[in-house]
Amino acid sequence: MTENNFRSGFVALIGRPNVGKSTLLNYVVGQKVAIMSDVAQTTRNKIQGIYTSKDAQIVFIDTPGVHKPMTKLGDFMERSTLSALDEVDAVLFVVSANEKKGPGDDFIIERLKQVHQPIYLVVNKIDLVHPNDLPKIVAQYKEALDFKGIIPVSALQGNNVNQLINELVTELPEGPQYYPAEQISDHPERFVIAEMIREKVFQLTRQEVPHSVAIDVTSVKRENEDTVHISANIVVERPGQKGIIIGKKGSMLKKIGQLARHDIENLLGDHVYLQLWVKVVPGWRDKAAMLKDYGYRNTDY
């Protein structure tokens, strides 16, 4: 492929919560850009991961899992997902091999019927089912929509992910390289830092503090050549949740900080001094101004 026919484009990932969209995105770009958790609804913004090879660049938009909105935050997530489908060159509809097709999938399929771009069915988590069961799993979706291609993958183990990338590249239009080859996300560092802290809150507190958490990174300052000082508030809705996050004698907060600091150091390539506080803001998810304060701006993501 000569330099003149370099291919590039934007690809949206859509699917029900917990089908492995973030895991797939992280595998493709080779680094963590989307947070992963087995708590549904972890991804809140359209996270862009960038895959670049010598002859192509794909900018992936990982949309929040589709669900019925219950709050203003839920509303934002829903609009965020649907708007992404109108901005791309192709769509990956990601489903889970170990779950039956459900009402959430039907809802997405109805929306996808209005999309003119090529749609690929990506059947993820094939490592969790017997290969003989795959045709039956695929058949549930095949009748509902005319897919450009159907690719079974394991995002966790990397099975068939290269095949998926190759199929996308052949379909992308010729175009420029939008981002430098080494760049893997277009999000500001503060956003990614906040996501890494939020991931640790999800992992360690499980169901106790589900979606009532936002991270407000208040400062990122370089102390010297190899040390960065970061301060952030973990924002919750109720005093009880604050107690859970702080833990006995501050043990939970310390653990969240240690794990997040490790990921942030990998991201920045520097020593990180991370200070965390927990702040109670009742009903923040239903207050439009606060959603903006905590990073949920349509124009940004």
The DSSP annotation for the chain comes to --GGG-EEEEEEEE-STTSSHHHHHHHHHTS--S---SSSS---S-EEEEEE-SSEEEEEEEPPPP----SHHHHHHHHHHHHHTTS-SEEEEEEETTS---HHHHHHHHHHTT--S-EEEEEE-GGGS-GGGHHHHHHHHHTTS--SEEEE-BTTTTBTHHHHHHHHHHHSPB----S-TT--B-S-HHHHHHHHHHHHHHHHHGGGS-S--EEEEEEEEEEETTEEEEEEEEEESSHHHHHHHH-GGGHHHHHHHHHHHHHHHHHHTSEEEEEEEEEE-TTGGG-HHHHHHTT--TTT-
Whether the CB-CB separation of 207 and 215 falls below 8 Å is answered with: no
Residue 208 pLDDT: 65
Residue 129 pLDDT: 92
Residue 237 pLDDT: 83
Residue 259 pLDDT: 93
pTM: 0.59
Residue 260 pLDDT: 92
The residues, any chain, with a CB within 8 Å of residue 77's CB and separated by 6 or more, are 41, 44, 64, 67, 69
* Sites in the chain below the pLDDT cut of 70: 1-4, 31-48, 63-84, 185-188, 207-212, 284-301
Each residue of 156-196: pLDDT tens digit? 888 999 999 999 999 899 988 887 777 776 655 777 788 88
Whether the CB-CB separation of 192 and 295 falls below 8 Å is answered with: no
Residue 12 to residue 292: CA distance in whole angstroms: 23
